[in-house]
Homo-oligomer: A and B are copies of this chain.
Amino acid sequence: MAQDQQGRDTYHHGNLPEALVREGARLLAEAGAEGFSLRKLAERTGVTVAAPSHHFGSAKGLLTAIATRGFEKLDHQMDVAASSANSPSDAVIAMCIAYLRMRTTHPGYADVMFQLNLLDARDERFRASAFRAFGKLETALAAALPTSLAADQIALKAKAIWAATHGLSVLPMIDGPESERIIEAVVAAQLGGSP
């Protein structure tokens, strides 16, 4: 349908929530989280300012929905990355690199995914999609570790890698290529280190 993206012939939009998420991510990509506003988005989408709040409650709710979608996209990118890896440990690294590259592959979504203060991190659907992506890394990590290792030890290592990856995505002092080299070293250290 043409009215999915913007504009409409009818009074009802057709699929406003979807259009708001998509166009919202586009606005975020263009203007950054700074330049984002509900009013700009409403105008772009061809509805009134009040329309979004009916579906998402608040601006935070909408941004949370965008971030949720972002984690679904990350989840998919992680699948793609892992499928072309040669070994279990390479799969783990490839997944982390997919995380790091979200900024360039999905700019609008990444803007809000990595700024937890902009959204409601306790939202049920958001947490579910974020945990699904994390769980995927954890599973891949388990496959790269000796089967004798206890589950909670694996979980600890997964969190260490996830935290490092997130830190590298967020901190401005480290550029892209260097981040990827660092995460390779971190993963290698976690795989080879003592129990």
Contacts and interface: CB of A to CB of B under 8 A. Distances in A.
Nearest to A34: B117
Contacts of A167: 162-168, 170
A82 B92 CA distance: 34
A33 B193 contact: no
A167 B170 CA distance: 8
Contacts of A186: 160, 164, 186, 189-190
A185 B160 contact: yes
A115 B170 CA distance: 10
B174 A163 contact: yes
A171 interface: yes
A121 B159 CA distance: 27
A118 to B, nearest CB: 8
Contacts of A1: none
Given A163-B168, A164-B163, A193-B193, A156 B173 contact: no
